[in-house]
Structure 1
Amino acid sequence: MSILAAAAAAVGGAGVVGREREVELLTAALDCGAHVLLEGPPGTGKTTLLRSVAEAQSAAFVFVEGNAELTPGRLVGHFDPSQVLSDGYSAGTFVDGPLVQALRSGALLYVEEVNRVPEETLNVLITVMSEAELHVPRLGRVRAEPGFRLVAAMNPYDAVGTARISAAVYDRVCRLTMGYQSAADEADIVVLRAPEVPADWRAQVVDLVRRTRAHPDVRVGSSVRGAIDLTRLTVSLARSRRTPVTDWHTGLDAAQVALSGRVRLHESCARPAEDVVRELYEAVFGAEPTPDADDDAGDGGAPGGA
């Protein structure tokens, strides 16, 4: 399959919206044999993008969650102690870790949150990217089969529990940055992943979530996942309360729950996140209606309906 054909197929995959350029660039990078670093904030579809491209190319896919517990042993694999006692150190007693599994099968190795991985583990990956092989004590050399690629992902805005990626890593990868999508694309994502709601109200939800990224008190705003959860929660809450989805108070309560934990405020901000969410909610949906206005709104809508 050609690069463009694979890219087109991946764009049509489930969950990939408005990422034609990124799909094309990622596909071309993998096609030419490069290792790739996907860099962008949470909720920008890094994992979805890679899975779709891998599926379009019928490529095997090995997923690794990057964290402080990802030691070289967990990444590479280990000898089974009970089998070693009976059979000794041999290929048959070695349990492949995700790295060796990907090397042997020529798969895409996806390391999520690579900037949370310990330095000694990153050094193993650096060697593999440079030499296309790995030497495992008592096992020997494991060569990368054709098709093996390393794709790592990281969130550059999260400073808790992370470390700076060394120049040695950047020197061995092609870096693809992924920002937030357009309002129209994010609305389309909500359509795919949340219940049906009035289009105008959904557009306001997306607007609210996007405003969290520009508020002066907010260091990191919500991704489109906030709009998805806000929509789902509002529909469920409206059904429980027997109010329209568009009910002002139902939407506010859903927004507080869906967004207050997703926005990260500046350390200098003394306000709680709920206050910021309410401020933004009122900017999009208007001031709190009077009781009479609530009664009028409640008479005109179907419970929880779109």
Structure 2
Amino acid sequence: VKKEKNDNLSILKKSPYIQYNAKSQTKEKKPTLKELFTKNLYLQNEEKMEIVLSGQYEEALDLIYEADASNLYPILVGPPGIGKTTLCRYYAQTRAEITGNDSFEWITFDESTKPAHLVGSFNPALTIQKGFSFDAFNPGPLVKSMLNGGVFLANEINRATEYTQNSLLEPLEEKMLSIPHIGRIKASPGFFFIGAMNPSELVGTHRLGEALKDRFNVWIELDYPDKKTEMKIIEHNNPYYKIDESILEKIYLIVNRTRTHHQIQAPASLRSGIALARLTGVAQVKDKSQDPNQILKDMSRNVLFGAIQPKPGVKVKDVINNIISQVLG
């Protein structure tokens, strides 16, 4: 038990994801929350994204460029976890390098999203002092994007209610938006609206209204990537704990099997493959003598347990064991 504890401490100390301070036992002044907030304030123009651009992702990026150049609005449709949001963020980054405008706003919709979350709201205290003026107004992400002429991503747009969906009709058709008590604004040149949605048959989604569907001119369908691309993505997202090509292929086969198994209705996404690669790599660093196949078997049970949804009446553990048996024996 003591050896196992030391092994766990060792991998934590060596982990690139954890900031280990050998002097942490000494009494040092801890930073305040405000200092930590200032230090960790996210600035999107300071982060340079790198993604795997091959297969369907390269084609989708080309279509987004073409839609933007044509003053048309695209929408990406595909299952959860295939990189729709990441692709849009990457596009906003590359567009900023071309135009010099790094304005990028996005919101992930759900049942509780209201038009005010997009437009913004008035600060009650300032409204009492200054009335319903722009000085008392906290602009929402859509207003910011329209005024800056930037990119706006409506993520999981078909999880929004029809009431909230309808609030997008005017910005998409007229490039204008009404702000209560202030007036109507017109989008600055360069405003670009991108939608992203999950397949309509998934639980928690709403039917996209016909009027809203008509505003999207370019429909980009994405699915789970081909084997070569998915293995590249898994490897790209596991930079610190390298694994053998043979194990990487087995990880792909396990994840891909969840998408074809007759007893599964919601399969594993790319994130499951990335998790398996990292966990397997860490376990190999911890104990180099352990059989990689056994490690993968153990990790698969932990990762897939919450990553898949079996059909009614089917036990998730039985499905996982069946997949492990088929792929790893």
Pairwise same-fold verdict (TM > 0.5):
yes
Map of 1:86 onto structure 2: 129
For residues 238-292 of structure 1, what are the alpha-carbon distances to aligned partners after superposition, in whole Å with 9 as ceiling and x for unaligned?
Answer: 44556436142x211200111121112222xx22112112211111111xxxxxx
Please, which of 278, 289, 299 is the counterpart of residue 232 of structure 1? 278
Map of 2:230 onto structure 1: 186
For residues 174-206 of structure 1, what are the alpha-carbon distances to aligned partners after superposition, in whole Å with 9 as ceiling and x for unaligned?
Answer: 211111111111111111112210101111110
Cα distance change of structure 1 residues 157 and 72 upon mapping to structure 2, 3 Å threshold: closer
* Post-superposition offset of 1:71: 0.7
Map of 1:126 onto structure 2: 169
Mapped partners of 1:143, 1:15: distance in 2 = 34
Map of 2:25 onto structure 1: none
Mapped partners of 1:214, 1:31: distance in 2 = 38
Map of 2:39 onto structure 1: none
Cα distance change of structure 1 residues 53 and 209 upon mapping to structure 2, 3 Å threshold: same
* Equivalent pair of 1:37/1:151 in contact (CA under 8 Å): yes
Q: Is 1:43 aligned with 2:84?
A: no
Q: Is 1:256 aligned with 2:301?
A: yes
Mapped partners of 1:177, 1:222: distance in 2 = 19
> Counterpart of 2:111 in 1: which secondary structure?
coil
* Post-superposition offset of 1:30: 1.5
The amino acid of 1:110's aligned partner reads: L
Superposition map of 1:238-277 within 5 A: 238-240=284-286, 243-244=289-290, 246-248=292-294, 250-267=295-312, 270-277=313-320
* Equivalent pair of 2:120/2:137 in contact (CA under 8 Å): yes
* Equivalent pair of 1:76/1:100 in contact (CA under 8 Å): yes
Superposition map of 1:170-185 within 5 A: 170-173=213-216, 174-185=218-229
Structure 2 unmatched ranges of 5 or more: 1-47, 97-101
Please, which of 137, 148, 153 is the counterpart of residue 196 of structure 2? 153
Cα distance change of structure 1 residues 163 and 93 upon mapping to structure 2, 3 Å threshold: same
Question: Number of residues paired by the alignment?
Answer: 272
Cα distance change of structure 1 residues 158 and 235 upon mapping to structure 2, 3 Å threshold: farther
Please, which of 181, 184, 187 is the counterpart of residue 141 of structure 1? 184
* Equivalent pair of 1:129/1:150 in contact (CA under 8 Å): yes
The amino acid of 2:75's aligned partner reads: L
> Counterpart of 2:167 in 1: which secondary structure?
helix
The CA RMSD over aligned residues, in Å, is 1.7
Q: Is 1:29 aligned with 2:51?
A: no
The amino acid of 1:14's aligned partner reads: E
Cα distance change of structure 1 residues 28 and 182 upon mapping to structure 2, 3 Å threshold: same
Mapped partners of 2:122, 2:81: distance in 1 = 37
Map of 1:53 onto structure 2: 91
Cα distance change of structure 1 residues 262 and 157 upon mapping to structure 2, 3 Å threshold: farther
* Equivalent pair of 1:17/1:188 in contact (CA under 8 Å): no
Mapped partners of 1:260, 1:172: distance in 2 = 39
Superposition map of 1:206-217 within 5 A: 206-217=252-263
Mapped partners of 2:271, 2:174: distance in 1 = 39
Mapped partners of 1:84, 1:60: distance in 2 = 27
The amino acid of 1:255's aligned partner reads: S
User: TM-score, normalized by length of structure 2?
Assistant: 0.79
Map of 1:294 onto structure 2: none
Map of 1:220 onto structure 2: 266
Structure 1 unmatched ranges of 5 or more: 1-11, 287-306
Mapped partners of 1:168, 1:243: distance in 2 = 61
* Equivalent pair of 2:78/2:222 in contact (CA under 8 Å): yes
* Equivalent pair of 1:157/1:220 in contact (CA under 8 Å): no
The amino acid of 1:235's aligned partner reads: G
User: TM-score, normalized by length of structure 1?
Assistant: 0.84
Mapped partners of 2:199, 2:107: distance in 1 = 19
* Equivalent pair of 1:206/1:224 in contact (CA under 8 Å): no
